[in-house]
Amino acid sequence: INDTFIFYRSMLEERKQDILKELESVFSAKQISLGVATQKGQDTIEQLYKSCDTADKITKYGSISDILTVRKHLDSKLQSLLNCNIDQAIQTAGELEFVSNYQAIQVGVRNTFGYVRSNSEVIMGPSKQPPIARPTGGSSSSGSSVNGSSGSING
């Protein structure tokens, strides 16, 4: 039982490390995505300032014909900058969640940890086979076992 527990704990620790690596990878990707969105936002703000400065200069120093000539260009540029959708990139990058199913873990432990089998039971009627969900050996899914143990009670 102790060997099984040690093996089970090592498998849990291995899974924990895998999930932590995955979390780090996803977090890094989202961090990069946020950095790109931030840069895009800063570029948009800078272009808005430039457009405003241009509009100010034209209204101060330009004639009406100059204003009308540049107006369409500035209007379309400002409209494209205002339609920039950075919020979606930020919302997508902000979604990160670890999902755990405690009930499935509980059932999984009960079904995979092992059970006690005794040959001294009195057999009444046809012999019963153990339920399908219970393992018959102590080896892992990779075919190896911890410390050479076979999972039996005798060692």
pLDDT per position as a tens digit, 55-110: 888 888 888 888 888 888 888 887 887 777 766 666 666 778 889 999 999 999 98
Q: How confident is the model at residue 18 (pLDDT cuts 50, 70, 90)?
A: very high
In a domain, 35, yes or no: yes
Q: What is the dihedral of CA 52, 56, 57, 63, to 10 degrees?
A: 120
In a domain, 133, yes or no: no
Does pTM surpass 0.85? no
pLDDT over 50 at 147, yes or no = no
Using an 8 Å Cβ cutoff, are 138 and 149 in contact? yes
Residue 92: what pLDDT?
A: 67
In a domain, 24, yes or no: yes
In a domain, 132, yes or no: no
In a domain, 111, yes or no: no
| Measured distance CA(67)–CA(73) in Å, rounded | 10
pLDDT over 90 at 54, yes or no = no
In a domain, 103, yes or no: no
Task: Read off the amino acid at residue 20.
Answer: L
pLDDT per position as a tens digit, 108-131: 998 888 888 888 755 554 455 555
Task: Report the share of the chain in percent with pLDDT over 90.
Answer: 23
Q: How many separate domains does the chain show?
A: 1
Q: Which domain holds residue 45?
A: 1-96
In a domain, 155, yes or no: no
Where is average pLDDT lowest: 19-23, 90-94, 138-142?
138-142
Tokens of 28: 């890094």
In a domain, 125, yes or no: no
